[in-house]
Amino acid sequence: MSATLTHWRPLGMIEPFRKEIETLFDRFFGDEAGSGTMTANTWAPRIDVEETDKEIIVKADLPGVDPKAVDVSVQDGVLRVSGERKDERVEKKKNFQRVERFSGSFYRAISLPPSADADKMTAMSDSGVVTITVPKKAESQPKKVAVTAKA
């Protein structure tokens, strides 16, 4: 009979959890672990995708982004949301003034099903959320048939 010994590293199991918590704090407070500087290349907007019988709804959280700076397009069945964020924060107090500027481009891509009708797509911005509605083609929507009794 032989036994195999393995090295158990309990702290190694915590590392992915620690990284997730750091990411959460970075996104919530808007900078890299309190360093006071935000790298624009690391920012990507949060996207929610919902599909109903009649349409696909995509919501992109774009706080502080001018709707005119957002580009929404569809090519080869892929919905692309891109643009540029420019934000300036000014803090003035009695003895100092601090100005922070955050800028950079963002890009997200979502594959659309073949049933999506990109020609009838709409996009609307409200309170920092861009809602993109892509209706489904009529032939792909469920059809209901009434059941009748045999006479």
The answer on 29 and 70 residing in a single domain is no
4 found inside a domain = no
pLDDT of 21 = 82
Give pTM, 2 decimals: 0.60
pLDDT digits (tens, 9 = 90+) for 62-72: 988 889 989 99
Tokens coding 119 = 């020609």
150 found inside a domain = no
Domain harbouring 98, CATH code: 2.60.40.790
Nearest to 134 by CA among 108, 151, 112, 149: 112
The answer on 128 and 58 residing in a single domain is yes
The answer on 125 and 63 residing in a single domain is yes
Q: How many domains does the chain have?
A: 2
Q: Which residue do the tokens 């790298």 mark? A: 39
Full DSSP string of 43-60: ----EEEEE-SSEEEEEE
Q: What domain range includes position 56?
A: 43-138
Q: Quickly count: other Cβ atoms within 10 Å of residue 144's Cβ.
A: 5
Strand partners, 59: 48, 131
